[in-house]
Amino acid sequence: MKLSLAIAGENALPTAFVVFRGFAESMRKAAALGYDGVELALKHPDEIGRDELASLLAEHKLEVSCISSGQVYAALGYAFTDSDPARRSELASIFRGFIDLAADFGKTVNIGRVRGPIKGKKREEAEALFIDMARELCAYAAPKGVTLILEPVNRYEIDFINSVDEGVALLRKAGIANLKLMPDVFHMNIEDAEIGATLERNIADVAYVHLADSNRHAPGDGHTDFDDIFGALGRAGYKGWCTVEILPLPDPDTAARRASEFLRPYFRR
Ligand code: LER
Ligand code: MN
């Protein structure tokens, strides 16, 4: 397993759940704190230049774990469940840019809140719109070796795909080889009956994990049982990325440091 930290550009909204903003400074700090990689929370693929990114990664000996897309929904309002053809095509174009970037950096693009809400639609209609967009983008991503990962998100942020079981059921319906699951233990603490057992049971679909404590503070600062989580991931033989996606509290440096200090021992076992 490798440990990553979610970061964003300088102007990211508070709804980007990252401790550090500004790519260069964030990467310097992440490396100094012992993280192996960074997850880039982007609203557009041009937000960071490829050359600048490559040189920052080399300088700090970091990898990109994932390109995450929550801001495409939170800041720009695009969604996989939108039925408007013009907006769907703009969203697909942003995602093709993310996939092109991920082809060289990390091979993974997340679908979190950007899967969109059900809202006034029938559930079957929202699912069909989601699967249609996922199928088109995964077909574009497959020859580039890129995987898209669907993140169940709690009911207070979105009304569609809240639990891991719902996420897995939708993956089964879609049947797309490079569409996998990104469980986030913060959302699982709200939506899933058990965290460790659910991860272990669904490990074949788990391609990536988001970490935060029960209060979305640094792991160790709430009441989530990380022995349960890492015990399950260890038994299941999980070898992928675990990424810290937390609020910058009590302040960004303290949050990122506490998370690294608390989690590192699990990564040495
Ligand atoms: C949102 O709460 C979240 O966890 C992100 O990773 C998905 O947009
Ligand atoms: Mn998350």
Please say whether the beta carbons of 197 and 157 come within 8 A: no
Q: What is the mean pLDDT of residues 232-245?
A: 98
Q: How many CA atoms lie within 13 A of 252 on its CB side?
A: 15
* Residues whose beta carbon lies within 6 Å of some atom of ligand 1: 17, 68, 70, 112-113, 151, 153, 157, 184, 210, 245
- Confidence category of residue 15, pLDDT binned at 50, 70, 90: confident
| pLDDT tens sequence across 69-112 | 999 999 999 999 999 999 999 999 999 999 999 999 999 999 99
Could you give the domains of the chain?
2-268 (3.20.20.150)
End-to-end Cα distance, the chain: 10
Distance CA 111, CA 70 (A): 7
- Alpha-carbon Rg for the chain, nearest whole angstrom, is 17
Question: What pLDDT does 269 receive?
Answer: 59
> How does pLDDT run across 142-184, given as a tens digit for each residue?
999 999 999 999 999 999 999 999 999 999 999 999 999 999 9
DSSP bridge partners of 5: 38, 244
Q: pTM score, two decimals? A: 0.97
User: Which residue is catalytic, options 39, 47, 127, 151?
Assistant: 151
Tokens of 248: 């910058």
Q: Residue 254: left if φ>0, alpha if ψ -120 to 50, beta else—which one?
A: alpha
Nearest bound ligand to the CA of residue 114: 1
Q: What is the spatial distance between Cα 114 and Cα 40, in angstroms, rounded to a whole number?
A: 15
* Each residue's pLDDT tens digit, 200-213: 999 999 999 999 99
Element (H, E) at 241: strand 241-244
Residue with CA nearest ligand 1 atom 2: 153
* Gap from CA of 248 to ligand 1 centroid (Å): 15
